[in-house]
A and B are shown apart, each in its own frame.
Chain A
Amino acid sequence: EAGVAQSPRYKIIEKRQSVAFWCNPISGHATLYWYQQILGQGPKLLIQFQNNGVVDDSQLPKDRFSAERLKGVDSTLKIQPAKLEDSAVYLCASSFGTVGYEQYFGPGTRLTVT
């Protein structure tokens, strides 16, 4: 069974530029999560989708971050404009359901903003 796919794996941009990350979850997984992990910290949930609807985006900085999940499968996370403090690893995860289900994580995208 294929795992969660993410691209790109690495991205370096200058502040005020924009960037987009892509995620393809495990087939059949209805729930998709985007996390931000700053070096030395635990992952912080940015947004959670159930199929193509948003369940929780309370920690998404909506003035600069946006995310969508078209047709309930692939998802993209965009940052525009980027700030230095956005440098982090962006992890996508998926699960079959929400309550009580383990999450499967992709390899992540390491973003460096200079």
Chain B
Amino acid sequence: ELKVEQNPLFLSMQEGKNYTIYCNYSTTSDRLYWYRQDPGKSLESLFVLLSNGAVKQEGRLMASLDTKARLSTLHITAAVHDLSATYFCAVDYTSGTYKYIFGTGTRLKVLA
């Protein structure tokens, strides 16, 4: 069964600092998705990574995918308070049927 693990689970960081969230998964897949969830809100799609070496950037967030290492990273540059949220990665794959599995989530708090 596919497992998707994120670390850290909790991250408290100062404004202006850089940090990276890691997403590891346990089966072969070329596709990985990042979502953001604000407290009490629903999920919002951030990035769709569809091949090995894919890199996407939006504002202070940059996501990359290494399918050989089964690893995706979400890099935060010069964090600001508005980035405080929970970030989820998700992986899809087909093994008999189509599966879509979310990671454990990383709760990010950016301190002013």
Determine the distance from Cα of A98 to Cα of B97 in the docked complex, in whole angstroms. Answer: 12
- Which residue of the partner chain, among B42, B50, B99, contacts A105 with CB atoms under 8 Å? B42
* A99 lies within 8 A of B42 (CB): no
Q: Which partner residue on chain A sits nearest B48 by CB separation?
A: A102
Q: Which residue of B lies closest to A42 (CB)?
A: B102
Provide the main secondary structure of the chain B interface. Answer: strand
Instruction: Collect the chain B residues with CB atoms within 8 Å of residue A100's CB.
Output: 31, 48, 50
Mask, B56-95, CB within 8 Å of A = 1, is 0000000000000000000000000000000010101010
The reply to whether B45 and A42 contact each other, CB–CB distance below 8 Å, is no
Q: How large is the interface on B (under 10, 10 to 19, 20 to 34, 35 or more residues)?
A: 20 to 34
Within the complex, which residue of A42, A45, A99 is in contact with B103, where a contact is CB–CB below 8 Å? A42
Partner of A48, one of B41, B98, B104: B98
Contact of B33 among A55, A58, A102, A108 (CB under 8 A): A102
- Name the one of A41, A55, A105, A108 contacting B105, with C-beta atoms under 8 angstroms: A41
**CB proximity of B78 to chain A, nearest CB, Å:** 26
CA–CA, A58 and B98, complex, Å: 10
Tell yes or no: A14 within 8 A of B by CB: no
Within 8 Å by CB of B100, from A33, A104, A106, lies A33
Assuming the contacts A48-B98, A55-B98, asked whether A104 and B45 have C-beta atoms less than 8 A apart, the reply is: yes
Total A-B pairs in contact (CB under 8 Å)?
55
Give the size range of A's interface with the partner. 20 to 34
Chain A facing B: main interface SS: loop
Chain B residues within an 8 Å CB radius of A91: 42-43
Q: Is B101 an interface residue (CB 8 A)?
A: yes
Q: Are B98 and A99 in contact (CB under 8 A)?
A: yes
Please state if B100 and A42 are interface contacts (CB–CB under 8 Å): no
Q: List 23 A-B contacts (CB under 8 A).
A: A41-B105, A42-B4, A42-B88, A42-B102, A42-B103, A42-B104, A43-B43, A44-B102, A45-B100, A48-B98, A55-B97, A56-B98, A93-B43, A98-B92, A99-B31, A99-B92, A99-B98, A100-B48, A103-B45, A103-B100, A104-B45, A106-B42, A108-B42
